[in-house]
Structure 1
Amino acid sequence: MVQSSIRESEAGLALAADLDQCRAGFGALLARADIPPAAATELRRRYAEPHRAYHDAAHVGLLWLRHLLHGGDAGDRDLALAILFHDAVYEPLGRDNEARSAALLAAMVPGRTEWAQAAILATADHIAFSGEDCRVLRLLDLDLTPLAERPTLFARNTEFLRREYAAVAEPAWRQGRQAVLARFAATKRLFRTRLGAIYEAPARANLTAELAALAEAA
């Protein structure tokens, strides 16, 4: 059991190293979500927008691959839709990206998508969510797993995020980044599903290291 857990942890963390594999995961997710062709085309366009460096198809594909790797239900279309659309609208300085992403889902995919829309809205503030829906909590945890990447990949993701905020001056970027990470670090539990056994400790280590670096640079 211990060896199996170690292998699962290593495999989960290894996924982020291969961006091409993550992009292939995005394609697999599109196929699983079974959405109209026009919606799929629009999502491909959106996730390839030039201002995206982190919040792109590779990020979305990574979450789906980790969902599957960690025993997630490949047949859960609602969760597939939530993962697929959760960053469909992304403006780095926008304050309503999640609401607009949920609205886009409602507009582009026929049928009942209310659960997926509500799950997307929950990603607006992972820490503030106080609900107990285990599938929403899984989405939130999956979205936070990049906090736990191996240090070189965590640094890569930080650089990707910095590119998305290229319009923000360096002092303001550092101040904002510090505030976000400090809020995560102050949270008793980052992960509220079984994914915490894999991702909590490395995420804490990354948060501690970057906060220390930001404090030193101040």
Structure 2
Amino acid sequence: MGMTISQIEASLALAADLDQCRAGFGALLARADLPAAAATEIRRRHAEPHRAYHDAAHVGLLWLRHLLHGGDPGDRDLALAILFHDAVYDPMAKDNEARSAALLATLVSGDTGWAQQAILATADHMAYAGADCRVLRLLDLDLSPLAERPAAFARNTAFLRREYAAVPEADWRAGRRRVLERFAAAPTIFRTRLGAAYEVPARENLAAEINSLAVAA
């Protein structure tokens, strides 16, 4: 069964309340049930000063949306994948996802193989060709901020620009446009039932920013 209009509105409203999203991070951390040292480390990483967008609020938002969309609150593997998918974050690096998966394996004992593979899939959302519905759910959750209301979308764009402060403005604009155009060119951005909530507003945001970047070029 799809989401009602009120549920979709509630989902999009979450992003406006960063304190609520950070509380979602706490709930996610509790579900992940990490050893104390691992929990301390993952908190430290998501509070690193160079993070503006890829922080605890982002991770907490994804977990809250998972729950709001009827996701299994007991799915620890997915909780670990969400929690660790940006655990290592250097805006200029190309191996963040591989290092994040490796960090998960280092900090958490037991079988974390599925979560590691799911994290690796977030390196290129559009390139994932598998059929694992839970991996697809992670990818769709991670892309759901493309569909935020305009004010939250603009705020996130500003946060991302802060993370890429070392990149000259012209290069930032060109790179940002390439990324957004790739999403816009996909037949579908979202590949689970979450698309019913996010596909249309995401495409509206993409079109508006791509047009803005083209005008400014």
User: Shared fold by TM > 0.5?
Assistant: yes
Match of residue 51 from structure 1: 50
Structure-1 separation of matches of 2:23 and 2:191: 28
Structure-1 separation of matches of 2:10 and 2:83: 22
1:31-80 alpha-carbon deviations (Å, 9 max, x no partner)? 01001010110011000000000000000000000000000000000000
Match of residue 163 from structure 1: 162
SS at match of 2:4: helix
1:105-141 alpha-carbon deviations (Å, 9 max, x no partner)? 0000000000000000000000000000000000000
Structure-2 separation of matches of 1:28 and 1:37: 15
Structure-2 separation of matches of 1:173 and 1:146: 19
Once the 2 structures are TM-superposed, how far is the Cα of residue 11 of structure 1 from its aligned partner?
0.6
Once the 2 structures are TM-superposed, how far is the Cα of residue 153 of structure 1 from its aligned partner?
0.5
Matched, 1:118 2:117: yes
Structure-2 separation of matches of 1:45 and 1:117: 20
Name the aligned partner's letter for residue 216 of structure 1. Answer: V
Match of residue 180 from structure 1: 179
Q: Between the two proteins, what is the percent identity of the paired residues?
A: 77
Once the 2 structures are TM-superposed, how far is the Cα of residue 154 of structure 1 from its aligned partner?
0.2
SS at match of 1:188: coil
Name the aligned partner's letter for residue 150 of structure 2. Answer: P
Runs of 5+ consecutive residues of structure 1 not aligned to the other structure:
none
Structure-2 separation of matches of 1:57 and 1:134: 25
SS at match of 2:15: helix
Once the 2 structures are TM-superposed, how far is the Cα of residue 8 of structure 1 from its aligned partner?
1.1
Structure-1 separation of matches of 2:67 and 2:211: 34
Match of residue 206 from structure 1: 205
Structure-1 separation of matches of 2:31 and 2:114: 17
SS at match of 1:127: helix
Once the 2 structures are TM-superposed, how far is the Cα of residue 5 of structure 1 from its aligned partner?
1.0
Structure-1 separation of matches of 2:182 and 2:43: 32
Match of residue 28 from structure 1: 27
Displacement over 2 Å in runs of 4+: none
Match of residue 65 from structure 2: 66
Match of residue 154 from structure 1: 153
Match of residue 137 from structure 1: 136
1:73-104 alpha-carbon deviations (Å, 9 max, x no partner)? 00000000000000000000110000000000
Runs of 5+ consecutive residues of structure 2 not aligned to the other structure:
none
Provide the TM-score with structure 1 as the length reference: 0.98
Structure-2 separation of matches of 1:48 and 1:201: 32
